[in-house]
Chain A
C-alpha cells in the first residue's frame, strides 16, 4: 500500500477528522487544483521518469516558493528514491513526491503542531510578524477558536503604532465576545502588555493573546522593542509567553526565511500562522523554514471569516496538495 493511501485511511478513519480534512481541502482547493493538476499533467505528459520530468517537477516546486536550496535537496532525494525503487514510469510517482515533501518537513526534532495551553493558570500567546501579514485578523480567529473550545480569552492591543490597529482588534473582540485591554494610540506597548497581564490574572482568564505592531525584521530598534515586550511577559508570568506565533503571509517569497530567522532570534518563535492560503499562493517556503529553523506551522488562515483558521497538519497539507492524484491512483488499483 502506498504511503498516501495509508495516510488517507488514517485521516478518514474517524468522522471528525474527515470534516476538518474537508475544510482544509476546500480552503486549499485553489492551491491544490493548481498544483495537482500540474503534477498530473506532468505525469500524463512524460510517462517516463527521466531528466525532463525532473526538470519540470523542479520548476513546479520553485513556482510554489519552496526556494532553490530546498528544491535541490528534494530533487536529489527523489532521484535517489526513483533509482532505488527502479521506477521507470511516472505512475505512482505522486506518492513518492508527497512522501519526500513530508519527510523534508518533518526532519529534525519533534515539534508540536498544537498550541501549548496550560492546564492551570494563564497561558500567554504573543503574535509577531512584519506589516500587513494578518496578525490582528489571526488573533480574532484564534480567540474565536479558543472560546469555542470553552476557554476564557482576553486580547491585548499591543499595536499602538499603526493608525486604526486598536480599533481593528476591538472590533474582533466585540465579534468574538472577548475583552480587549488597550491604551491610547502611541502608548508604550510594553506597558499595555503589563496592564493586560495584570487584568488577565485578576480576572482569571485562561488565555491572553497579545497583538503587536507589524515590523520589518531589519529594523533594529523595533526588534528590540519586541524583546522588551517579551521580557515584560516573561517577568509577569512564569514561563510566558507560552507561544510566540509568527504570522507569515503565504504570498511572501524567499524573504519569509529571513523573517522567520530574525523573529526567532528576537523572540524565540514557537510556531507559524500561515495566512492568506486561500489565494493562489502556496507558501512553499514553510517547508524550508521548518527544515532549516525547525519552526512548525501551527495554523493556516483560509479566509476572512471567524472560523477560517485551521490547525496545520503536515499530512493533511500534503494530502490536500495531492488528493486528486491519489484518487486517480486508487481508481487504477480498483481495475487491477
Chain B
C-alpha cells in the first residue's frame, strides 16, 4: 500500500542533500512535493495542504542545518511543529454556563458517532466535572436511535429524556429544559439526528433548536476517517449553527486522521475530544502534537511513553534489565512482563504507536492475538517452579503433563519454548548493543511476529 509516512517519502531527497550546510530552495521544493502527497494521503484537504505547504516552505528555505539533525529531520521538524501549532492553540475544556443548566448540543453527519459520544461525554462530565447531566433524545428520524440512547443511559445510570418519534425535536428540547429544571440536572446534552450539511430543512431544524436557548457548546462530531469532504461539512455546520468545538471519533482505527487538520483550519474551532473505542470511557483529550505525528505517519511515541509511564513499575523495569543482561530471565519474569504490557492496553494498539513499526523486521506482520496470550499464560502456569526457572529440564514427559494441565498441545509448548529461547538471545544481543552504544547494527527480532499468533 502507498501509505508510507513522511519520513520514508523524504528518503530520496534527503540522501541527495545530506552533508549540505543549508537547505536550498530547490531542495525545499522537492521535499514539499513529498510533504504535499503525504498530507493528501492522510486525507488533509487539498486546499489546506496547499496553504500549509506554502507556509512551511517559507520557513524551511535557508534554514541552517543543525548539527544534530539531518536536513530531512530538520524539514520534518518544521512540518511537524507547524502542524502542531495549526491544530493546537488553546487546550480548552468544556465551557460550562455560569448559570446552570449548561446546554451541549451534538451535531454531525449520519454515522459519525453522535449517540455513542453523547454517552461518553456525559460519563466524563459526571466523573471529571462532578455534574449531573440529562441526555436528550432528539433524533426522531433514525430507527431506534432513541432506544440506543436509552440503553446507553441505562448502562451509565444516567437519565434520558425522550418523547418518542412523533414530537418535533424542537419541542423535545423545550420540554427537556423544563424537565432538567425540575430534576436539578445542571448539564443537558442534546443528541440530534445525523444530517447532511446540504439538507436545508434539517439544518434549519438545528437552528430552531438553538433559538430556544443558545447552547453553551455545540460539538461537531466527525469521523476521523473522513476524506476531502471534511471541509465542506465543517464549514456548513459552522455557518449554520456556529459550532464551538469538534469531537473526532473512531480514532482507534488506523486512519491517519488528516480531517482533523482540515476541520481545524476551516472552522477555526478547537478539537476537544477524541473517541478511542466503543466503551463508554473511551473518550480522551486531544493532543495536537500526537495528532501531527499521526498525520505524518510518524507513530505516536508520546502516547506510548505516557502509557508506559502510567503502567510500568520503574523498579521492576530495572530488575528486568538486570536479568536480561545476566541471562537469568525466567518464565516467571516472562509472565510478569506480559502482565505489564497487558496493562498498557491491547497490544495491537501499542505496536501501532511505535514509529516505523511497519519497517522493523519481524514486526510488519505482527497481528496480535490476545487469545494466544491467554494460551501462553496457561502453559506457563502449568509448569512447576523448577521448570519455570530452568526450562531446559522440560523433557517430553514433562511436556505431556504441561499440555494436559494447560489444555494445549505439545506443539504449542515446543513453540513457546523455542520462542522463549529466541527472545533470550535477542535480549542478550540488544543489551550488548546498548552497552556498546552503537545501535548501528540492524536489530532483528526473530520470532517476534509469531509470538502471539
Assembly CA distance A319 to B219 (angstroms): 38
Binary A-proximity of B351-372 (CB < 8 A = 1, otherwise 0): 0100000000000000111110
Whether a CB of chain A sits under 8 angstroms from the CB of B450 is: no
Q: B113 is contacted by which of A69, A131, A276 (Cβ under 8 Å)?
A: A131
Contact of B228 among A62, A69, A224 (CB under 8 A): A62
Q: Does B339 interact with chain A (Cβ within 8 Å)?
A: no
A residues less than 8 Å from B146 (CB atoms)? 164
Say yes or no: B348 contacts A170, CB within 8 Å: no
In contact, A163 and B152 (Cβ under 8 angstroms):
yes
B10 CB → nearest A CB, Å: 15
A168 contacts the other chain (CB 8 A): yes
In the complex, which of the residues A67, A216, A278 contacts B250, with contact meaning CB atoms closer than 8 Å?
A: A216
Assembled-state Cα–Cα distance A168/B151 (Å): 13
A115 at the binding interface (Cβ < 8 Å): no
Q: Does A81 contact B (CB under 8 A)?
A: no
Q: Which of A69, A172, A251 contacts B223 (CB 8 A)?
A: A251
Known contacts: A131-B111, A279-B198, A279-B229. The answer to whether A255 contacts B254 by CB under 8 A is: yes
Distance in angstroms between the alpha carbons of A132 and B371 in the assembled complex: 27
Contact yes or no, A253 B141, CB < 8 A: no
Q: Are B229 and A251 in contact (CB under 8 A)?
A: yes
- CB <8 Å contact, B110 and A276: yes
B109 at the interface (CB under 8 A from A): yes
Q: How far is the CA of A65 from the CA of B301 in the complex (A)?
A: 29
Question: With A254-B227, A255-B43 in contact, do A220 and B348 touch (Cβ < 8 Å)?
Answer: yes
Q: A59-B46, A216-B250, A218-B254 are in contact. Are A167 and B147 (CB under 8 A)?
A: yes
- Nearest Cβ in chain A — how far from B8, in angstroms? 14
Contact between chains at A162 and B148 (CB < 8 Å): yes
Contacts of B42 in A (CB 8 A): 254
Contact A168 B142 (CB under 8 A): yes
Which residues of B are found within 8 Å of A279, using beta-carbon distances?
109, 196-198, 229
Contact in complex: B228, A63 (CB < 8 Å): yes
Closest to A288 in B: B2
Taken together as a complex, chains A and B put the C-alpha atoms of A135 and B191 apart, in Å, by 21
A130 touches B250 (CB 8 A): yes
Are the C-beta atoms of A65 and B227 separated by less than 8 Å? yes
Proximity bits, B63-78, A CB within 8 Å = 1, else 0: 0000000000000000
* A202: interface (CB < 8 Å): no
- With contact pairs A220-B348, A279-B229 given, residues A164 and B144 touching in the complex (Cβ less than 8 Å): yes
Chain B residues, Cβ within 8 Å of A165: 144, 148
Known A-B contacts A164-B144, A171-B144, A249-B223; A255 and B253 likewise in contact (beta carbons under 8 Å): yes
In chain A, residues 154-179, which have Cβ atoms closer than 8 Å to a Cβ of chain B? 161-165, 167-168, 170-172, 175
Which of A68, A133, A278 makes the CB contact (< 8 A) with B196? A278
Task: Select the residue from A224, A276, A304 with max chain B CB neighbours within 10 A.
Answer: A304
Q: Are B147 and A163 in contact (CB under 8 A)?
A: yes
Find B143's partner among A134, A161, A167, A249 (CB 8 Å cutoff): A167
Chain A residue nearest in CB terms to B50: A59
Q: Does A257 contact B (CB under 8 A)?
A: yes
In the bound complex, what is the Cα–Cα distance between A164 and B232 (angstroms)?
Answer: 30
Instruction: Please determine whether A131 and B147 come into contact, CB atoms closer than 8 angstroms.
Output: no
Report the Cα distance A323→B445, complex, angstroms.
56
CB distance from B225 to the nearest CB of A (A): 4
Is the C-beta of B1 less than 8 angstroms from some C-beta in chain A?
yes
Q: Is A132 in contact with B148, judged by CB distance below 8 angstroms? A: no
Q: Which A-chain residue is minimally distant from B47 (CB atoms)? A: A63
A131 touching B151, Cβ below 8 Å: no
Which B residues between 226 and 274 are near A, CB-CB below 8 angstroms? 226-230, 232-233, 250, 252-256, 258-259
B155 contacts the other chain (CB 8 A): yes
Q: Is the CB of B151 within 8 A of A253?
A: no
What's the Cα separation between A101 and B368 when bound, in Å? 39
**A280 is contacted by which of B40, B141, B197 (Cβ under 8 Å)?**
B197
Is A64 located at the chain interface by the 8 A CB criterion? yes
Q: Are B196 and A172 in contact (CB under 8 A)?
A: no
Q: Is B278 an interface residue (CB 8 A)?
A: yes
Query: What string of 1s and 0s marks CB contacts (under 8 Å) between B199-218 and chain A?
Result: 00000000000000000000
A64-B254 Cα distance, complex, nearest whole Å = 21
Interface string of A40-77 (1 = CB under 8 A from B): 00000000000000000001001111011100000000
Q: Give per-residue flags for A294-305: 1 if the beta carbon is below 8 A from chain B beta carbons, else 0.
A: 000000000010
In-complex Cβ contact of B352 among A172, A218, A282, A304 (8 A): A218
Q: Are the C-beta atoms of B112 and A254 separated by less than 8 Å?
A: no
User: Is A221 in contact with chain B by the CB < 8 A criterion?
Assistant: yes
In the bound assembly, the distance between CA atoms of A168 and B150 in angstroms comes to: 13
B129 at the A interface (CB under 8 A): no
The CA of A64 and the CA of B229, in the complex, are separated in Å by 8
Contact present for A68 and B253 (CB under 8 Å) = no
Known: A67-B41, A68-B37, A258-B1. A252 touches B227 (CB 8 A): yes
- When the two chains form the complex, which single residue of B112, B144, B278 contacts A167, counting CB atoms closer than 8 Å? B144
A274 interface hit (Cβ, 8 Å): no
* Contact in complex: A132, B41 (CB < 8 Å): no
10 closest A-B pairs by beta carbon, nearest first, are A253-B227, A164-B148, A132-B111, A171-B143, A253-B43, A163-B151, A167-B144, A168-B144, A281-B229, A255-B255
Beyond the given A68-B40, A279-B196, A282-B228, please list 8 additional residue pairs across the A-B interface where CB-CB is below 8 A. A62-B228, A63-B45, A68-B37, A162-B278, A168-B148, A220-B368, A251-B109, A253-B225
Q: Which residues of A contact B (CB under 8 A)?
A: 30, 59, 62-65, 67-69, 130-134, 140, 161-165, 167-168, 170-172, 175, 185, 216-221, 224, 249, 251-258, 261, 276, 278-282, 285, 304
A sample of 9 cross-chain residue pairs with beta-carbon separation below 8 angstroms, ordered by A number, consists of: A68-B41, A162-B148, A164-B144, A216-B252, A217-B254, A218-B348, A254-B255, A255-B254, A279-B196
